[in-house]
Amino acid sequence: MQSNGNVASLALANGEVLTFREAGQGNKAVVLLHGNMSSSAHYDLLLENLADDYKLYAFDLRGFGDSSYNTAITSLQDLAHDIAEATNCLGLSSFAVVGWSTGGGVALELSALYPQIVEKIVLIDSVGVKGYPMYRKDAFGQPILSEQLKTKEEVANDAVQVLPILQAYSTKNRAFLRFVWDTLIYTRNKPEAERYERYIDGMLKQRNLVDIDYALVTFNMTDTGNGVVMGSNRLRQIMSPVLLVHGENDLVVPVTESMATAKMLGELATLIVLPECGHSPLTDNLPGLEAALRSFLG
């Protein structure tokens, strides 16, 4: 393990190297998993605010941030396996896992695959358990809801959600990425300038956009189909308590997704809907998110 201040890296047996940010001196270990188009840098406020009471590990998932991307992923399960090995290397026999957006899907897969190590799960505006559908677009760029994208090639050639982001990454077009986030995610509150620049730095390091988008299209932990794939039914393997926190005005993942997930999880689930909040409670309502985390994690 190599360390650079509060940033360290771990070499995994599969040839990948995962980078993570470490903070806090508490006895309770908490692993934080970021979403798509982001990195561990987006968790800086939680790392700062929760450090007094928890031991925190915010990972760059494979292909994001400063972690490697030597082998392409085929599903969110691949990322879950990475985190299981990394936490084992850190000597964590059990921990709570927090997943934001795409990271929520990884957190659920981690808990289903390794129920013995995940004590509690927190899902922040998480992808739904039937995945994140993508659709063909009409001449005006609007989704045709009767025509889902079903292959990786179709996803890779999407002219609205994918190709413009790939172009922005290629040309390091910070202004376009800021426009996307201001339009869809930071719709109420925006990070202060210096933080926002660090977040964009992290976005520009993503190397797996198409693979992640396709993994989200084919993510399905239920016992029914999602229009692209049949479900794995792994949701029934979740044994840990789950807190779902979701902004009521989320434009990326509708709050109805967390409502549906909570219903399927039954008594394991607690749902908190944050009013006047979008896809980023970390900026829209940090006090509310922090209070919910502390109450649930103990």
Please write the tens of the pLDDT for every residue from 5-41: 499 999 999 999 999 999 998 899 999 999 999 999 9
Q: What percent of the chain shows pLDDT beyond 70?
A: 98
Give mean pLDDT, residues 199-215: 98
Q: State the DSSP code for 42.
A: G
Give mean pLDDT, residues 217-227: 98
Distance CA 298, CA 136 (A): 44
Residue 184: per-residue pLDDT: 97
Residue 3 has pLDDT above 70, yes or no: no
Distance CA 18, CA 66 (A): 8
Q: Calculate the average pLDDT of the chain.
A: 96
pLDDT confidence bin for 4, thresholds 50/70/90: very low
What type of residue sits at position 294? R
pLDDT confidence bin for 113, thresholds 50/70/90: very high
Number of domains the chain contains:
1
Give mean pLDDT, residues 117-137: 98
Distance CA 253, CA 214 (A): 16
Nearest to 21 by CA among 32, 6, 34: 6
Q: State the DSSP code for 268.
A: G
Residue 5: per-residue pLDDT: 43
Burial pattern 99-122, b for ≥16 Cβ within 10 A else e, equals bbbbbbbbbbbbbbbbeebbbbbb
**CATH assignment of the domain containing 25:** 3.40.50.1820
Please list, in sequence order, all residues whose beta carbon lies within 8 angstroms of the beta carbon of residue 237, skipping any fewer than 6 positions away.
Answer: 111, 112, 113, 115
Residue 130 has pLDDT above 50, yes or no: yes
The answer to whether residues 82 and 60 touch, using CB atoms and an 8 Å cutoff, is: no
pLDDT digits (tens, 9 = 90+) for 40-59: 999 999 999 999 999 999 99
Distance CA 86, CA 92 (A): 9
Residue 72: per-residue pLDDT: 98
H helices of the chain, in order, are 44-50, 76-89, 102-113, 152-156, 163-171, 174-184, 193-203, 209-217, 255-265, 281-284, 286-297
The answer to whether residues 96 and 29 touch, using CB atoms and an 8 Å cutoff, is: yes
Q: What percent of the chain shows pLDDT beyond 90?
A: 97
What residues are paired with 98 via a beta bridge? Answer: 32, 122
Report the sign of the C-alpha dihedral through residues 137, 138, 142, 144, in that order.
negative
pLDDT digits (tens, 9 = 90+) for 239-262: 999 999 999 999 999 999 999 999
The answer to whether residues 60 and 39 touch, using CB atoms and an 8 Å cutoff, is: yes
Residue 32: its H or E element? strand 28-33
Which of 3-17, 89-103, 215-229 is predicted least confidently?
3-17
Nearest to 268 by CA among 226, 237, 234, 294: 237
Q: Are β-strands 135-137 and 242-247 bridged in parallel, bridged antiparallel, or unpaired?
A: unpaired
Q: Give the chain's largest Cα–Cα span.
A: 55
pLDDT digits (tens, 9 = 90+) for 257-296: 999 999 999 999 999 999 999 999 999 999 999 999 999 9
- 209 Cα distance to chain centroid: 13
Q: State the DSSP code for 51.
A: T
Residue 50: per-residue pLDDT: 96
pTM over 0.95: yes
Residue 295: per-residue pLDDT: 98
Distance CA 131, CA 239 (A): 20
Residue 17: per-residue pLDDT: 98
* Rounded to 5°, angle at Cα 290 from 174 and 293: 115
Residue 281: per-residue pLDDT: 98
Query: Strand runs (DSSP E) across 71-182, as ranges?
Result: 95-100, 118-124, 135-137, 143-148
pLDDT digits (tens, 9 = 90+) for 168-198: 999 999 999 999 999 999 999 999 999 999 9
Residue 134 has pLDDT above 50, yes or no: yes
Per DSSP, the three-state class of 231 is: coil
The parent domain of residue 232 ranges over 2-297
The answer to whether residues 61 and 82 touch, using CB atoms and an 8 Å cutoff, is: yes
